Structure 1
Amino acid sequence: MTRLKQMSLLGLVAFGTLMANAALAASTLKDLEFTSLGGDRMELKLDFAGGVPEVKGYRIETPPRITIDLMDTHSQLEKRRFDLGLNGVDELVALEAGSRTRLVMKLNQSKPYVTRTEGNSLYVIIGEQGGPVATQSSVAAQNNAPTASNDALEVASEPSISGIDFRRGTEGEGRVVLNFNRSNVESRVTERGRKIYVDLKGVKLPPELNQVLDVGDFATPVTRIDPQRTRDGVRLVVDASGYYTQIATQAGNELVLEVKPLTREEQAERIKDKFPYTGKKISLNFQNIEVRSVLQIIADFTGLNLVASDNVTGNVTLNLKEVPWDQALDLVLKSNGLASRRMGNVLMVAPAEELAALERKELEANQQVKELAPMTTEYVQVRYAKAADLAALLRGEGGIGLLSERGRVMVDERTNTMLIQDTRDTLEEIRGTLEYLDIPVRQVQIEARIVIARSSVSSEIGVNWGISANNTGKLDLGGASSGTSDGGGLSVDLGDDSNPGSTFSFGYLSGDILLDLELSALESEGKSQTISQPKIITANQKKAVIKQGQEIPYEEATSSGATNIEFKEAVLALEVTPQITPDNRIIMDLLINNDDVSDDSFNGEPAIDTNEIETQVLVNDGETVVLGGILTSEQIRSVFKTPFLGDLPVIGNLFRYTEESNEKVELLVFITPKIIEDGLTVR
């Protein structure tokens, strides 16, 4: 009786499991068929039980892949991997995760594809006549749009990431979840080494989400998530460890990257796939047999045609059990100093030196054909770079050039055009290189504000002082005194022992400060005065120079006794060389000079008091760097008197008084770099 109860209970459990699987997977993938359509086209037929499911697909350029997701589908295929080598499709891999089945097709080059449905079959046509990518996922995105007004709002809104989340699945998989403020965000997932890259074109990354997530404690293959701003949008770098598979799915305004650890069986299969020998296994046991005989046995076993050189001689003893035939062949060849080349179904065997000499002769013959190839002339209009610079690159001045030995290049500077004469193959390589190099250079707007500040202006606008430098060019961390000290609130000590103008200080403004409004308010209170606000736009890694001051004339005697009028500059000069980093921050090489006319002179020539600093800072786009510590003194003498009575001798002192003040002020220089986006430049 107990045994019957146990069997009944097991039956109920099995029935419940089958019902659960049926509920989870509305369709079942029963079979795959591959058909060549001629040319560069192939047809993949998928047969289902339960109807064709919802299909989502996308294409990857590098490496070339086509991925088809079959939603709510269970796979009943006999194997997971299909070696095709058919019409540019090398391999198809079928993966199942939860209620979804994914088909990944590895291509020898990127190809378009289209899908169509007939009954319970789905047809995927891959090839040159397939047209652009048009999967059911894109059609569904259009059909599910609620109203035309919502579509217009989505198109008008700029895509951005609204959330980055990480979760651990029930099977130890790591799930990276990206949420966007709109749907139809263009994404691309690639994998190199132990890193998975999610590239989001045209997407913005809010500052609060621009931080690295350490998720190593979740015990998943994912260890680190690093969102980065790029020129084209956002790149998410996901670090992983161990053996894993990754699947990316995108629906609506959510993208999920699932990184799942492999089981022991899957790990063993992957290690087996990395084994270089894949031939059918063979056993060989011979004593002192001729090498030619062993080669003939292997050729007969594999069905290959054998061509052996006359120099293939010698005997070999071997005892191999159940080893791949290509491994056995490799062992026989290496033990006798031989090498092989396979051309179709013909196996050619000869001594390694003989084959190397043969290949050398073939290369020399190909080189002669290349040298005798007809020359072609092409005109290349250079758009953004200088034609002379690119021509020097093609000639290989100071390095390796791209022109062949017979190739020539000439430059027409008037039209910025290159005239290139070379073979067709070389011209094709040159065109590809020029497309990569002849691109617009990013630009940076440098805005400088030169302000005379009295009292505690630097502390009132929230300057965070942290780095100071003296006029020797040496930087010291924490060298400047606090801006909230009792010495007047300036960036340097204003005591009697200070040497005005001898110390520079660097600081940064807080990100939420409205600098223009703050300076305007301080000017209305008489605490500051903006004496200059120059702006300049420069290309990335090109120097921008801003100067303000005067040129002082002086007479200089010549050897003939005559005099010439010469000029010396006494200016406040800023030289800024910006460099845009891949994460859209800016490295600035700063050279600041603060020159003033000295009271001293030498042989009639005026002396110049010079203070100079040269340094490098890293700031965010739009962040302001503040230069302080440039001190000057204002001496003011004011006379207040009663008219007529105050002018009388001696007694007039009773009707007037004199007020003298010596106020020290600070010259603050605000430098704000801003990256100019390409779209703004075009408009």
Structure 2
Amino acid sequence: MARILLAALLLPAVTGKVLAEEISDLRWLPGDDPVFAITASPDMPFTTEVLDNGYRLRIAFPDASLARNIRDIGESGIVRGVFPYETDSPDRANFDVLLKTQGGLKIVPLEGGFEVAVLERGQQPVADASTNASAPSESLAGQAAPPAASMNDLERSVLAEIDHAQKETVADTSNSDRTRVVLQPRESDTETETETESVAATKDASQTAQVDAVEQQPVAQADAVEQQSASVAIAAADEAPPPSFEVQLPTTSNEVPEPPRVAADADTVTREQVTNAQQAISGNAGIEESVPVPAPAPAPEVVEAPAMPVSGDVAGARLEAITYSELPGGRLQVNFNLVDGDIEPGVFRTNQPPRIVIDFFGTANGVLDAIQRVGFGALESIVTAETDDRTRVILNLVAPVDYEQRRVGDDIVVVMESPNMRQVSGASNARQRPAFQSVGQPNDLEFAVADIDFRRTPEGGGTITVRMTSPEIGVDVHEEAGEIVIDFPGVDLPAELEKRLDVVDFATPVQTVDTFFTGAGARMIISPVGQYSYSSYQVGETLTVQVSPMAEDDDQREPDEFGYSGERLSFNFQRISVRAALQVIADFTGLNFVTSDSVTGDLSLRLQDVPWDQALDTILQVKGLAKRQKGNVVWVAPAEEIAAKERQALEAQSQVYELEPLVSELIQINYAKANEIANILKSVRAIDTGYEQSLFGSVTISEIETDSNSLLSSRGSVTVDARTNTLLVQDTRGKIREVRKLIAQLDRPVRQVLIETRIVEANDDFSRNIGARLGFTRVTENARFPGASDSNIGTVIGSASLEDNDLVRSGGSVGDRAGVSVDLSADGQGGQSAASYAFTLAKAGAGFSHLIDLEISALEAEGTGKVIANPRLLTTDQNQARIEQGQERVFTTSVLGEGSVVTKKAVLGLTVTPQITPDDRLVLDVFVTKDSFAAADDTTINTKQIRTKVLLDNGETVVIGGIYEQSQSESTTKVPLLGDIPLLGALFRKRNKFDNRTELLIFLTPRILDPALTVN
């Protein structure tokens, strides 16, 4: 029964989903000081981190996303740049501030966003007279800050670290025993005397606290302690910088680990002293003058902390040059030339925006160009920057791609895959992986995986439990290419656990669990199917990963006959305002509605059990309104107003395009022909989403999104270099980016088809011939037969019909006999004569004798034959392949006395054109011809043809027949009248009988070749 939404109940629907807020802009504010603005809701929560020893500061906004037009901002003052990006986890946006020197941030929430000031270490924040004095400013953690006017760096650090440690202890009770505060004195550059300095509390409680990033401080968060504003007396040198405090908390971050610190003696700073310092802070609140407090215990002996551990010798290491080279298949190789150092860099990547970041620790920067434009494959540009302890290289990508890092001599080599290889294989070409992959052999590592277990939950999910040998093992769980990847860096894997768990029969989203050793540690890959969600947590030595199936989303409902797919609701309103009706739909759907001021009026409506999107369209049509939706935000305004604003936006965009400078880029074409791609760029002016068109027989456009109505602007041009198969495109930077996206869709390797054919030609022949020869001879003289006396020799007189036959005469010589009267002997077959039986009948009389010669012949032939040919054809998708076998004869013709030579073919030919369907089936267009010459010297050709189209599965065999030929004949040759006499007439007849059959069969077996298949 459909839910009925009454007019009196205007309660928001519980969607159970937190919608991510969008950060729309990032820009520098005018002025000499490095101050930038973040345009977003000022109520958004945020956290901060100090990384890279204070040379990189991070502002993190959970449950937030970045607008598409947000870009990096460059250098200003001590800032090298501000880099926004989204992490692998959705709905989280980070802003990394890269500094030239150690510094801190002052974050003030204002109407419409945040104002962030970047301050050098030790620089005091200046109170802003324009800020409301009654509202305290926001510190780095977004909380109210304590008075800071008279605080030095040490006191502010103490407050921040104590509060940060308290919050971390509450947030992570399971690891509370690992949370501690360690006092880390810092060595002074010059020897100074230690004095006791008294610090008074600040007078103005509305000023913003500042936290300066100090050396070797991996986490610094200015979460000020509430209602604490006083001073702490700390003994320190006048010229020397104050000592730093470090909070050591358990972490599973992917950041490069900070160098080990040598803490002061445990008796120097105890938890009791921290408590006393907190009480002193709270007890001295409001004191305006400096109040001396007892000096702390003498500082312990300072032990120099070791340097950051890196692989190899980094003394004098230098990144000399960065070069790149193109590889086959659209891949790209980037070489980092290192001098005087064996560095093992730290590498990580981000998906939004797509980047690969490489840190060379303890390495100087010798690259001349800070920004290198590449524009090939997946790589757009290379950005190089140097800090005090490292050189960072950022590879800006067109799209997230897989990469491989390895060392070649003194160089570091990064090979990136082509952005097109992710969709080469089609729908069924999922990534195949062996049961396990061993990249290296496990070393003698301190930690190891002890056990792996899988269980099915009652809700139909899967739970993977990994038991380890130590709770100190750090685990990285992330999603990559639709799979859940778990890395255990520096963790050994026993041989009995290096295997695949096939859990398909458990009926969970998890299909397989692969565990193997990679050389850098153990890795587990969980392969799920369908829609799923996963979570992971670690308690002590046990890591638990839960993969649960997801229910069908409302957005995936099947649309009805009118095209609506929303959840159904009911309305019954009398004279309700349009705004209130829109609010009801907003509460029901959980969408964000922005209504124009010009939307007014009332309406009455009664809608019973209709989709909510149909109800919205009905309200808009009745009141002449229109909507535009982007993400989960719906803008409602009069149709004329929306059309006018869109027209203005298009005109403004057109003006910007006309004034934007032109740039030129070379784009390498790998699989297609450059001139055909150029023709597409010149001819296509607009491409609708979902339109499919075949281009040069091997490429299909499925969906191309562009930000404008054409691929090239009116000022753009494209030139083809046929020698290198390269395009030279000249246009605005935005248009070239769209052209690169289009080429990435078109320039893909074409799938190949192997067609195995078997041509069988079978024949069955039968023939039978029966005949006789009959002759009459009269001898008028005595003749001598074998064994007779000489007196028997006489003259032989033959019959009227003559045939060369022999008669034995005296002396053994061979003479001519008169001949035969009837010659109807059987014909030979295939060069073989018919078998015969002959005899002579003689009758002697007075003066003469009569001789009758009779010969009976017969031949019967029967045979079967089979001719088999097995050719194989390899062709690409939608390209024709042909094979033929036969004869080609030369004939001489004469026209008007002029002779010429012509050739004619009579062949058995097979032509096949394959087409691969999206579900990896094949459509074969087959054309078979069987031609033969009518006679040896005749130009006439007998032709037989078959043309058909069949649909086959991959590897299925089809038989094509029908070219069947049978010839039968039966003939009788006889002497008139005599041949019709019963029995005796057989001597005067010859009978021939033929029955020949021939059949042609063609077997076709197409197979789709996997492009990832390699043959050793």
Shared fold (TM-score, shorter chain, > 0.5): no
Give TM-score, length-normalised by structure 2. Answer: 0.29
Q: Which has the higher helix share?
A: 1
* TM-score, normalised by the number of residues in structure 1: 0.41
Q: Which has the higher strand share?
A: 1
